[in-house]
Amino acid sequence: MSSEKSTESQPAAKTTTSTKTQKTTQKATKKKAAKKKAAKKKASQKVELPSLDYDDMREQLAEWYSHQQRELPWREIKDPYATWVSEIMLQQTRVATVIPYFLRFMERFPTVTELANADLDDVLAQWSGLGYYRRARHLHAGAQEVVERFGGELPANHKELLSIKGIGRYTAGAIASIAFDLPYPAVDGNVYRIFSRIACLDDPVNSPALHRTCEAIASQIVQGESPGDLTQAMMELGALVCTPKSPACLLCPVREHCKAYATGQTLAYPVPKKTTKVRDMTVQWAMLQRDEHILLVQRPADGLFAGLWELPGLYLPHPGPDHTNDLQAHLTSLGLIATLQPEPRHYQHTLSHRRMHIALYQSEAIEGSVSLPPDTFQWVQLDDHPNLPISSITRQVFTSLLREE
Ligand code: SF4
C-alpha cells in the first residue's frame, strides 16, 4: 500500500511543481504587462502646460513676497530641519495654531538627532492637541532614518529627501526649495487653488489631472536664484490673498494673468471635489478609579489615535447599544470587574471622516488587576494629563471632568 502511495505521489508532486512554476511565470508576465500598460498610460497623460507668461509671474511674485511676507518663526532660521518640522505641522493646520507648537517642539528637540533619540511618547506628548498624530510618528521615524542614513543632516537632494519615511512630494519640494534653494515645487491646496483660478482649470480639485497641471505650472515658477522665496510666495499668496471664499484680487500681484479674474469666475475655481461622507460611530469609555488614579490603556500602533493613551473602552458602529454589557465584558477581558454608574456622560467629537458619539461611564467600584502587558497600561492622576500623549478629545474630556470637581 505504502509503495503504491509513494509511486503515485511522485508524478503528482511533479505536476504540482510544474503548475506552480507555470502560475508564477503567468503572474510575472501579467505583472510585466500591467507595468507596461501603466507606463504607457502615464506617457499618454502628458501635461499640457497652460500658456501663461511665467517669467512675468515669477518676477511679480518675488517682488510681492519681498514686501508682504509674514514674520514666522520657521522663516527666521535657515535650517532644513526647521523647514521639515514646520511643513509637517502646517499640513491641515492653521499657522496661528502651529506657531506655539513649533516653538515648543524646536526647544524640546532642537536637532534631527535629538528628535531621533527621543522617546516616541515624549514626541507624541509635544504633539498632543495638534491632531493627525501619524505625522508625529512619521517625523520621529524619519528623523531616525536621517541619522542612520545621512548622519543626522537632511540631504540637499530631492530624490534622497523623497526616500525618507514621512517625506512625500510636497514636503520634499518644500525642503528642497526653501532650505536648499533647489528648483522643486511644493504643491498643496493653496497652489491648486491659485493656478486653477489663473488658468481656469476644469479638472476637480482632488483629481490627479489637476495636480499634474498645477505641479507643471509651479515648476515653471520656482526657477532662478531663489526658488525658496517663490515657493513661499505661492504659499503666502494662497493664505493671504487668493483665499478660498473671498480672494482679494485687487491686491493680487499676478492679477493681470488670472483668467478667472478676467472672466469674473474666481469663486467657480477650483472645481469642487465630491464630498466625503462623515461616518458616525459610538465610543463607550470606562473611567476606572483606584486610589485617586485612573486607568489608561495604549491604543494599537495602527489606526485611529494610534499609539496614544485613553480610557479603556470600545469603538462601535453607530448606533451603539444603550447598555454596558459589551463594555463590561471588555473590562472582564482586561482582568477587571467594575461596577459602573448607569448614567453615562455624553460627548461628541468630529474628525475628518468620523463623528464620535462618546458615552463615558464612571466606576463606583472595581475589583481584580489588569492583565495587559505592563507597558500598555498605566494608572495616572487626572491632573497629570497635560504631560501625556493623549488625543485632543481625551484631553477635552479630562479638562471638563477636572472643571467639575
Ligand atoms: S486675481 Fe484673484 S483669483 Fe486670480 S490669482 Fe489673484 S487673488 Fe486669485
Tens digits of residue pLDDT in 181-201: 999 999 999 999 999 999 999
Q: Considering the chain, what is the average pLDDT of its residues?
A: 87
Q: Is 197 in the pocket of ligand 1 (CB under 6 A)?
A: yes
Instruction: Name the band, by pLDDT with cuts 50, 70 and 90, for residue 8.
Output: very low
* pLDDT for residue 306: 87
| Residue recorded with cell 465584558 | 329
Return d(Cα 267, Cα 115) in angstroms, integer.
Answer: 42
Mean of the pLDDT values across residues 302-315?
Answer: 90
Ligand 1 geometric centre to CA of 221 (Å): 16
- C-alpha grid cell for residue 160? 534622497
Q: Is 174 in the pocket of ligand 1 (CB under 6 A)?
A: no
- Report whether pLDDT(16) > 60: no
* pLDDT for residue 15: 43
Query: Which residue segments constitute the domains of the chain, with CATH numbers given?
Result: 54-268 (1.10.340.30), 279-404 (3.90.79.10)
Tens digits of residue pLDDT in 205-219: 989 999 999 999 999
* pLDDT for residue 25: 58
Pocket test for ligand 1, best of 249, 251, 256 (most atoms within 8 A of CB): 249
Ligand 1 geometric centre to CA of 76 (Å): 28
Residue 359: which of 395, 311, 299 has the closest Cα? Answer: 311
Instruction: Name the band, by pLDDT with cuts 50, 70 and 90, for residue 19.
Output: low
Q: Where are the alpha helices (DSSP H) in 69-119?
A: 80-90, 95-108, 112-117
> pTM (2 decimals)?
0.67
Q: Is 260 in the pocket of ligand 1 (CB under 6 A)?
A: yes
* pLDDT for residue 297: 95
Pocket test for ligand 1, best of 242, 250, 257, 267 (most atoms within 8 A of CB): 242
- Report whether pLDDT(322) > 80: no
Q: Is 257 in the pocket of ligand 1 (CB under 6 A)?
A: no
Question: Bridge partners of 77?
Answer: none
Ligand 1 geometric centre to CA of 276 (Å): 27
Tens digits of residue pLDDT in 126-170: 998 888 888 999 999 999 999 999 999 999 999 999 999 999 999
Q: Is 334 in the pocket of ligand 1 (CB under 6 A)?
A: no
Range among 96-110, 274-288, 290-304 with highest mean pLDDT value: 96-110
* Catalytic residue (one of 63, 71, 76, 87): 87
**Is residue 363 within 8 Å of 341, Cβ to Cβ?**
yes
Instruction: Name the band, by pLDDT with cuts 50, 70 and 90, for residue 402.
Output: confident
Q: Which residue has the higher pLDDT, 248 or 131?
A: 248
Distances (CA, A) of 401 to 37, 194, 339: 58, 45, 19
Whose alpha carbon is nearest atom 8 of ligand 1?
A: 242
Told to judge if 87 belongs to the known catalytic residues of this protein, a careful annotator would answer yes
Whose alpha carbon is nearest atom 4 of ligand 1?
A: 258
Q: Is 234 in the pocket of ligand 1 (CB under 6 A)?
A: no
- Report whether pLDDT(3) > 50: no
Tens digits of residue pLDDT in 46-79: 788 999 999 999 999 999 999 999 999 999 888 9
Instruction: Name the band, by pLDDT with cuts 50, 70 and 90, for residue 4.
Output: very low
Ligand 1 geometric centre to CA of 149 (Å): 43
- Report whether pLDDT(172) > 70: yes
- C-alpha grid cell for residue 404? 467639575
* pLDDT for residue 303: 81
Return d(Cα 310, Cα 377) in angstroms, integer.
Answer: 9
In the chain, count of helices (H) and strands (E)?
Answer: 16, 9
Distances (CA, A) of 49 to 178, 184, 196, 214, 215: 24, 16, 12, 9, 10
Ligand 1 geometric centre to CA of 50 (Å): 16
- Range scoring the smallest mean pLDDT among 32-36, 130-134, 150-154, 270-274: 32-36
Tens digits of residue pLDDT in 85-113: 999 999 888 999 999 999 999 999 999 99
Q: Is 252 in the pocket of ligand 1 (CB under 6 A)?
A: yes
Alpha carbon dihedral 156, 233, 73, 396, in 10-degree steps, equals -110
- Report whether pLDDT(44) > 60: no
* pLDDT for residue 304: 86
